[in-house]
Every structure is written in structure tokens, then in C-alpha cells.
Amino acid sequence: MTFSGFLSQLLQLAIALVLAPLLVGWVNKCRAWLSNRTAPSILLPYRMIRKLFFKDAVVAENASSIFRLTPYIVFGAMCCAAAIVPSLATDLPFARAADTIALVGLFALARVFMALAAMDIGTSFGSLGARREMFVGFLAEPALLMVLFTASLISGSTSLPSIVDTFAHRELAIYPSLAFAGVAFTMVSLAENARVPVDNPTTHLELTMIHEAMLLEYSARHLALLEWASALKLFNYSCIGLALFFPYGIVVSGTDWLALLGAAPALIAKLMAGGFALALIETLSAKMRIFRAPEFLGTAFMLAVLAMLVNLLLGA
């Protein structure tokens, strides 16, 4: 591990932390535009987080330590994931410690703790949210792994930076397996980030919420950390998608500070386009009943498995 590699690692983590709420703000702005509403400021998520940090925390009387520990664990897991996913450059020394399987494991760790915290208070909505979140997770997680496996089979590595290295160096060609995987990945990302059509991030309507139901009992700094963590999760998923399917612009040759300077605008442009696409999907689709979710995610899983088979059949 070189010193500059270490610096680049820290820089990318810092960029993830800073850009994540901004990405959420941008998606919300696009959603407002698309539905002909006056858009809130793009900085709104920052203000939310800041406001929440200054409030008094209200914790339920019967909450155990799991409830108070969870925001930190979830935030830590998402930061850790952000350190593995290449956003600007593929020179990530920490990625050696955790490959894509471990990355999915990290997401699962965060999910399990969220669900446990939601069950901790013993309210009806909390356990409802926990149950639904685990339900969505049990199909989304394998689908995500299958997408990553398809990429691993093409590049012969499960390490995310190595995969991106391979993909960025290849010629611009259409891989049929990647096309399947891309569709599957989009579907999984929608589900995992509590987006329409699986969940709705803006709802507090009891019957439909999944992710929000788990956050109901949280307030102040705990809520701020969880909001930040879910913004980071969206950022991580976006970066995984960009790295797998549009790796162009990422610095692949070690740490070249000048090149990094050029990679930053490319990343922001790609994220803006991705965020707009997300807002478009959300505006154009309707929320599904919860029991339609297995069909949706089952389709994603099948597409991902198909991607792997296509890859083996055609060798591409």
C-alpha cells in the first residue's frame, strides 16, 4: 500500500460522504420538476441532517442498546462499503480486504441491524417494517450477488477495482450478459434503496412503507446518521452501477492526481444523469403492492442468473 493510494482512498471516502446527500437532493429536485412541482433546494438533505444533529434525541423507554448502537453500525458499514466501491479511481488499497461478496455481506449486515433495531421497541409498525425489509432483502441480495458474479466471470476477479480495471480497458462493445445484468441491477437498486415501485421514500402511509417504518422511532442524531447512511447507500449503488456499466472516466492507472481532477467532473455528470434516470423511473411507475415485490425481484434474480448463463454460453 502506497501513501498516495491511502490518500486517494481517504479522498474517495470523503467525496462519498459529501456527495451522497447532494445526490439525494438532486433526485428529489428532478422528481419535483418531473411532477410539475416547485423543486426544493438541492441542499435540503444537508440542512435536514444539520437540523437533526442539533435536536434532543428521544428514545423509547424500553429501547435496548441495540437500538442506540444501530445507527452507528449502519453508518459504519455504509462508509466501509463506500471505501470499496471505486468512484474516481480504482486504486483502493482497502478493497483488498473486502471483495464484492464481502460488499454484499456489508449491506446485509446493515440491513439485519436495521431490522433488529426496528423490532427492538416492540411496536406494530417497527416489526412490520423489519419483516418487509428482510423480505425484500432475501430476494434482492441474491440478485445483486448474481449481477456481481456475472461481472466477476467476465473479468476473472471478485475484487471490484479489478473488475472495473478490466471493464474500463476493454473496447466499447455490447456484452449481452451485461445487458441482462444491467436490467437486473437497476431493479435491485430500486428495491434496495427503498424506491418506487417497491417502496416510497416520501411516504408515511402505514400500509405501504418499508424503510420508513423502521425509522419511525428514531429521532435527532440517530435519525441524522441513518438518513446519511441511506444517502450513502444510494451513492454506493449508483457508483457500483456506473463502475460496472459505464466505467469510462474512472482513473485506472494508479494514483495520478491530475487525472483524478479530471475524473471528478465525469463522476458528477454521470451521477446527475443516473439520478435523473432514477427520478424518471420513479415518476413513471406506480408503487406495487408488497406481494408483487417477489415477482419484481424474482424477475431481477432470474435476469441475473440468465446473464450468468449467457456469459457462459457466449463467452461474453
Partner 1 sequence: MSPQPLTLVIAAIAAWLMIGALGLARSRHFAFITRILFPAGSVVGLAMAVVAVVAMASPPQAIILPLGLPDLPFHLRLDSLSAFFLLLLGATSTAISLYSAGYFRTSEGTAPGLICFQYHAFLAAMALVMIADDAYLFMVAWETMALTSFFLVTTEHRIPEIRRAGFLYLLIAHIGAIAILLCFGTLQGGSGDYTFAAMRTMHLTGAWPSAAFFLALFGFGAKAGLLPLHIWLPEAHPAAPSPVSALMSGVMLKTAIYGLLRVTFDLLTAQLWWWGVVALALGLATALFGVIFAAVQTDMKRLLAYSSIENIGIIVAGIGLTILFKAYDKSLLAAIALTAVLYHALNHAFFKSLLFLATGSVLHATHERSLGKLGGLIHHMPWVAWLALVGALACAGLPPLNGFVSEWLLLQAFLFTPSLPQSFVNMLVPVAAAVLVLAVALSAYVMVKFFGVIFLGRPREANLAYAKDAGTFERVALVWLAAGCVLLGLFPVTVITLLDPINTMLVGASAIRTGESSWFLLAPISADRSSYSPLIMLVVILAIVLLTVQVVHRYYHGRVRRAPPWDCGFPAQTPRMQDTAEGFGMPIRTVFEPFFRIKRHLPSPFDAAPRYEVTAEDHLWHWLYVPVARGAEMLARLVGHIQQGRISVYLTYSFFTLLALLFLVR
**Per CB under 8 A, 240 contacts partner 1:** no
**Per CB under 8 A, 38 contacts partner 1:** no
289 CB neighbour count, 10 Å cutoff: 9
Of 15, 83, 181, 271, the residue at the interface with partner 1 (CB under 8 A) is: 83
DSSP-assigned letter for residue 2: -
Residues 8-37 interacting with partner 1 (rule: CB under 8 A): none
Stretch that binds partner 1, among 18-26, 78-86, 262-270, 281-289 (CB under 8 A): 78-86
Considering the complex, what minimum distance in angstroms separates the CB of residue 12 from partner 1?
14
How many residues touch partner 1 (CB under 8 A)?
Answer: 80
Considering the complex, what minimum distance in angstroms separates the CB of residue 35 from partner 1?
25
Q: Using CB atoms within 10 A of its CB, is residue 13 exposed (0-12), middle (13-18) or buried (19+)?
A: middle
Rounded distance, CA 103 to CA 64, Å? 28
Return the exposure string of 40-68: e unless at least 16 CB atoms fall within 10 Å of the residue's CB, then b.
eebeebbebbeebeeeeeeeeeeeeeebe
**Per CB under 8 A, 232 contacts partner 1:** no
Residues 160-189 interacting with partner 1 (rule: CB under 8 A): 162
Considering the complex, what minimum distance in angstroms separates the CB of residue 197 from partner 1?
17
Residues 252-271 interacting with partner 1 (rule: CB under 8 A): none
- Which ranges of 85-175 would DSSP assign to H, the alpha helix? 100-120, 124-155, 160-169
Taking CB atoms within 8 Å and a gap of at least 24, the contacts of 92-99 are 92/5, 92/8, 92/9, 92/12, 92/161, 93/1, 93/2, 93/5, 93/6, 93/9, 94/9, 95/159, 95/160, 95/161, 96/159, 99/158, 99/159, 99/160
Nearer to partner 1, 19 or 128 (CB): 128
Contact 150, 177 (CB under 8 A): yes
Contact 32, 38 (CB under 8 A): yes
Considering the complex, what minimum distance in angstroms separates the CB of residue 295 from partner 1?
10
Which among 239, 247, 238 is positioned nearest to 171, based on CA atoms? 247
**Per CB under 8 A, 85 contacts partner 1:** no
Residue in the block written with cell 439525494:
24
* 3-state secondary structure at position 316: coil
Nearer to partner 1, 6 or 33 (CB): 6
Of 22, 23, 80, 85, the residue at the interface with partner 1 (CB under 8 A) is: 80
**Per CB under 8 A, 305 contacts partner 1:** yes
**Per CB under 8 A, 62 contacts partner 1:** yes
Contact 29, 42 (CB under 8 A): yes
Residues 272-291 interacting with partner 1 (rule: CB under 8 A): 290-291
**Per CB under 8 A, 121 contacts partner 1:** yes
Question: What φ, ψ does residue 247 adopt, rounded to 5°?
Answer: -75, 5
Nearer to partner 1, 80 or 279 (CB): 80
**Per CB under 8 A, 227 contacts partner 1:** no
Of 119, 154, 300, 303, the residue at the interface with partner 1 (CB under 8 A) is: 119
**Per CB under 8 A, 221 contacts partner 1:** yes
**Per CB under 8 A, 159 contacts partner 1:** yes
Nearer to partner 1, 18 or 309 (CB): 309
Residues 186-215 interacting with partner 1 (rule: CB under 8 A): 204, 206
Of 21, 45, 137, 274, the residue at the interface with partner 1 (CB under 8 A) is: 137
Of 34, 123, 256, 272, the residue at the interface with partner 1 (CB under 8 A) is: 123
Question: What φ, ψ does residue 239 adopt, rounded to 5°?
Answer: -70, -35
